């Protein structure tokens, strides 16, 4: 992806805003509309943020502007080198279902066909320690859902998730979308990279709300789960023992 100087500067500015994780998406959009430059954001204090949003930020909301600037600059290089696509909350192609969330992402990074999320979607989740029967059921359901024109949404994790993606990929029509808990430049787990490649090649997409270069961490899987639930009007849970992340996804769906 080749960015013009103006487009590159605007992307850098928005990616720095993205790094202000203590702000809501509504507040990030207010900061965006204020027209603060990338260099100015790098020099911001928490008091400067409070003048714009307006909300008095707590002392623990530390802001390391220089680090945010450097991370955003690195991300723009990764985006250009790997031809990563992105859509911000105020863009026309931002998934409509996510606008219904109380805490929607400010930006989504993706590869593949984002338009597959405009089709009817169904989320399929479950335990990573699935039985053979559970994996078979997830694959069969997902294959049939895709054959009926649905996009199957899951998290590309071990067990039920990857079985759902593989099942949807067996369908003649339909597609599947995978939400990542890391930057989109890193597939987690790495062994599922071939599945991710097939998802993109077959008209689906892989997505992440995290800036390229961001590693997968435990709390990001929980944040990712809310997006899996939000992208579909229905969430199907296959094998989820007590304490399973899949049950958390179900709670988000409710």
pLDDT one-digit tens code per residue, 60-119: 677 899 999 999 999 999 999 999 999 999 999 999 999 998 889 999 999 999 999 999
Point out the least confidently predicted range of 50-54, 76-80, 134-138, 160-164. Answer: 50-54
Measure the CA–CA gap between 103 and 77, rounded to whole angstroms: 28
DSSP calls for 113-176: -GGGGGS-EEEEEE-SS--HHHHHHHHHHHHHHHHTTPEEEE---TTHHHHHHHHHHTSSS-EE
pLDDT one-digit tens code per residue, 180-194: 999 999 999 999 999
Q: Are 208 and 182 in contact (CB under 8 A)?
A: yes
Helices (H) and strands (E) in the chain, counts: 10, 7
Average pLDDT in the chain? 92
Torsions phi, psi for 100 (to 5 deg): -85, -5
Beta bridge partners of 111: 206
Beta bridge partners of 124: 236
- Find where tokens 């593989």 sit: 166
Tell whether the model's pLDDT for residue 4 goes beyond 60: no
pLDDT band at 2 (very low <50, low <70, confident <90, very high): very low
- The whole-model pTM stands at 0.92
Measure the CA–CA gap between 226 and 100, rounded to whole angstroms: 12
Tell whether the model's pLDDT for residue 3 goes beyond 70: no
């Amino acid at each position: 992806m080749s960015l013009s100087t103006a487009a590159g500067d605007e992307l850098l500015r928005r990616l720095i805003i993205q790094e202000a994780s203590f702000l809501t998406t509504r507040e990030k959009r207010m900061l965006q509309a204020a027209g603060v430059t990338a260099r100015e954001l790098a020099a911001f204090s928490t008091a400067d943020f409070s003048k714009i949003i307006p909300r008095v930020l707590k002392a623990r909301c530390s802001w390391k502007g220089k680090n945010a600037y450097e991370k955003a600059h690195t991300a723009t290089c990764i985006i250009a080198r790997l031809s990563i696509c992105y859509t911000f909350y105020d863009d026309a192609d931002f998934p409509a279902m996510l606008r219904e969330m109380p805490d929607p992402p400010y930006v989504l990074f993706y590869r593949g066909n984002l338009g597959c999320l405009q089709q009817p979607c169904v989320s399929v989740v479950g335990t990573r320690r699935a039985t053979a029967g559970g994996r078979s059921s997830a694959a069969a359901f997902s294959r049939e859902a895709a054959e009926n024109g649905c996009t199957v949404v899951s998290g590309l994790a071990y067990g039920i998730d990857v079985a759902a993606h593989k099942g949807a990929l067996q369908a003649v029509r339909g597609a599947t979308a995978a939400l990542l808990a890391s930057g989109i430049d890193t597939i987690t787990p790495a062994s599922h990279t071939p599945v991710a490649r097939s998802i993109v090649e077959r008209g689906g997409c892989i997505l992440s709300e995290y800036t390229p270069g961001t590693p997968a961490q435990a709390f990001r899987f929980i944040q990712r789960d809310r997006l899996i639930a939000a992208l579909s009007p229905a969430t199907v849970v296959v094998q989820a023992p007590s304490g399973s992340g899949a049950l958390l996804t179900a709670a988000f769906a409710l």
